[in-house]
Structure 1
């Protein structure tokens, strides 16, 4: 009988456990989870905080009971404190009573996820400075924000931007601080972030960009955030500075990137035999650059977790890598992106060009015909598609999934120009806007070398 131990149970862990239990009903599967809940969709925190999702149970897609029904032994509130990957043993501590236990395994699945980056700011220990990652965090944020008037969010990535919108809709005074000069700078180029920043400001949100937090001030409870360029009143601070892989347990036992992200092959195997990893604790293969990268997304996690189960006994289904495809809705704007931005391509040392189109997404004779902004980034020499970004008041975000497939398959701009998309006036124009972007970067036609060639 195969003994499988799983450490951590959010997106990747849940996917790995459920699929392993179904594929190998004879296996003995034990999961160790230090929280008192599993499978929380942290992507839904802002919706829950903003009141759009009233029943948080919908944000969980599994439970210890469901896993138990599959025959899985779930050890909740148990923290794994050491692992010996060679001897195939682990030690865990019961957080309720402090007791320790030892266990053995044939296969180890590491889905320990990530944890928010918390710099050692002066005053970080004051009350009402919170993180935003798990279910308990979201409940604390909701409770504390009821009494708060001035809320400061540090970090203008997806979670930070979604939270400031949620707080503003709840009638709070909100400030968003980030050391970068632009919000969402990892995901979108300036043509998009300029518009989104204006939208946030139009809704009364104060943007403090290009500012580094220096310290927090207050008597026991925070009342001010001081940056290198200003100070901001705050009775609640949420830190959304980014995430770091939670992989100290395996330090020195498997190959990792410099930031601690575990390196896995296309079958989710680490460098140590019978040890598999998935989700935010891992690096992924990033197709636009052809290199390993750290891109913590729920989509990557569930795919990788599912693949672990498929490849646990023998290599069966390969991971195709990722484009880091993601989307966000900010007020009326539907926004999505995939692959490299123009800025990121330059930073990766790739000579890139881009086509930017602004067009009505469907014929002007239709009663409404909202504008769509589409940018496609491609490699100059090869015209290979590297990335794309889209924004519109009408939801056209699914077309970014189409570009993701194009990048996955190393397609060129001229293929995007002439690929077969349907036309129907309700939905688009005879040239779909994706085609139009491709047409904007066709290769040059050779000139006639000598007279008389066409005679």
Structure 2
């Protein structure tokens, strides 16, 4: 079996490794146009804030380590054309421009995503930085050590973390987003309000509900124009999201409107012996029971592994995703899973309700404790849980994983309210806050 893997971030790496584990004599070729593999880009903001022990540890594999596992790595090599029906690829060596053509038995598309770069006047300025690749990270790290002012565009997780770390480093930060609040797509309005106050306490200027319409270089920096105001800084950083990097193959496969490749539950595309995973592909989103585009490393890892498990025959189905995630901002932990507000649910066509509670995470007789804000979202008709969020100065993020499992197994608020959680004063109340918020949901419903 001769297999081509196009791209070697998380999905490509785990697909290649799992294929070799399942079929040791498989001939696995990985084609990567960059010089690195497995870069943990979610650590860029932490690196900017000097919270990374070693940049080498931001990679869990290397081309050399994968070669020792029997995987043939073709670095600085780009697939320029793909005939997926015939499984034939045109391949370019970027170091010497040599071209060749090869045919394979199976093709794995793990080409990842690319940053959204809207066609805004001035967007090509060299004072605008991205936060996506290893090259982006190096360029940004080198620049941010000396700048005094920065404008971050995009108040999702990426922009939120960058703005936080730069403000903690003493920089003057402006955070801009076209939506009306921080983390608008990630958390409920209540949690957005809490985090917004944290930014303001740390001197960050929040420019929410403002759409960027232009960039203009100045003598000592850059001017960012929105539909409501203008802001100046030394640099601007784009963090407004990602789109699938599937231009090479999208016209040959079934895709979502944005180009994300559709697969069946065994990760096979609409063409036989062609698979897709990671940011290049769509995912089955359990809260809505429909396919969606949710670029997360956790999705990529699991999908890549499943390709390996199913490479010879379909046997292990993809269980879907809840898009469970977490972030820490100003020593405040936030964990989320699924649809975190009624508005987000209704935008997906689901009639939902929600409840929010606040309580200490452990008994007040302890010498210290912290407040927890916990929310649960459920489908009205079925009482099926479709989302949750947790916020505290205490690390409550694992609670999102608990509810994630509940969503995956289509549990109701009634079932979660009676689930068995331990009580021990060091760690929890007699009624755990997960149980508490589920009980509140039952009482409201």
Structure-1 residue corresponding to 2:321: 322
**Structure 1 position 441, deviation (Å):** 2.7
**Structure 1 position 251, deviation (Å):** 2.1
Structure-2 residue corresponding to 1:391: 391
**Structure 1 position 421, deviation (Å):** 0.6
**2: CA distance, partners of 1:442 / 1:36:** 53
**Structure 1 position 147, deviation (Å):** 2.7
Query: Do the aligned residues in 2 keep the contact of 1:127 with 1:221 (CA within 8 Å)?
Result: no
- RMSD over aligned CA atoms reads 1.3
Structure-1 residue corresponding to 2:102: 103
Structure-2 residue corresponding to 1:355: 355
Whether 1:114 and 2:118 are equivalent positions in the alignment is no
**1: CA distance, partners of 2:16 / 2:249:** 20
State the SS of the aligned residue for 1:403: helix
**Structure 1 position 99, deviation (Å):** 1.3
> Do the aligned partners of residues 94 and 328 (structure 1) sit closer, same or farther apart at CA in structure 2, a change above 3 Å counting?
same
**Long gaps (5+) in structure 2:** none
Structure-1 residue corresponding to 2:235: 236
Structure-2 residue corresponding to 1:364: 364
Whether 1:285 and 2:284 are equivalent positions in the alignment is yes
**2: CA distance, partners of 1:404 / 1:340:** 11
**Structure 1 position 341, deviation (Å):** 1.9
Residues 118-151 of structure 1, C-alpha deviations (whole Å, 9 max, x = no match): 0011111221211110111000001111232111
Structure-1 residue corresponding to 2:275: 276
Query: Rg: which structure is higher?
Result: 1
Structure-2 residue corresponding to 1:413: 413
Query: Do the aligned residues in 1 keep the contact of 2:20 with 2:26 (CA within 8 Å)?
Result: yes
Query: Do the aligned residues in 2 keep the contact of 1:92 with 1:102 (CA within 8 Å)?
Result: yes
Query: Do the aligned residues in 2 keep the contact of 1:128 with 1:144 (CA within 8 Å)?
Result: no
Residues 137-185 of structure 1, C-alpha deviations (whole Å, 9 max, x = no match): 0000011112321111111111101111111122211111100001111
Residues 198-241 of structure 1, C-alpha deviations (whole Å, 9 max, x = no match): 10110011111100111111158742111111111121111111
Structure-2 residue corresponding to 1:87: 86
Structure-2 residue corresponding to 1:206: 205
Structure-2 residue corresponding to 1:171: 170
**2: CA distance, partners of 1:364 / 1:71:** 56
Query: What is the TM-score when the length of structure 1 is the normalising length?
Result: 0.96
**Structure 1 position 21, deviation (Å):** 1.7
Query: Do the aligned residues in 2 keep the contact of 1:215 with 1:227 (CA within 8 Å)?
Result: yes
**2: CA distance, partners of 1:181 / 1:280:** 27
Query: Do the aligned residues in 1 keep the contact of 2:355 with 2:444 (CA within 8 Å)?
Result: no
**Structure 1 position 443, deviation (Å):** 6.7
> Do the aligned partners of residues 72 and 208 (structure 1) sit closer, same or farther apart at CA in structure 2, a change above 3 Å counting?
same
Query: What number of residue pairs does the alignment pair up?
Result: 444
> Do the aligned partners of residues 220 and 122 (structure 1) sit closer, same or farther apart at CA in structure 2, a change above 3 Å counting?
farther
Structure-1 residue corresponding to 2:436: 436
**1: CA distance, partners of 2:112 / 2:220:** 30
> Do the aligned partners of residues 167 and 443 (structure 1) sit closer, same or farther apart at CA in structure 2, a change above 3 Å counting?
closer
**Structure 1 position 444, deviation (Å):** 9.0
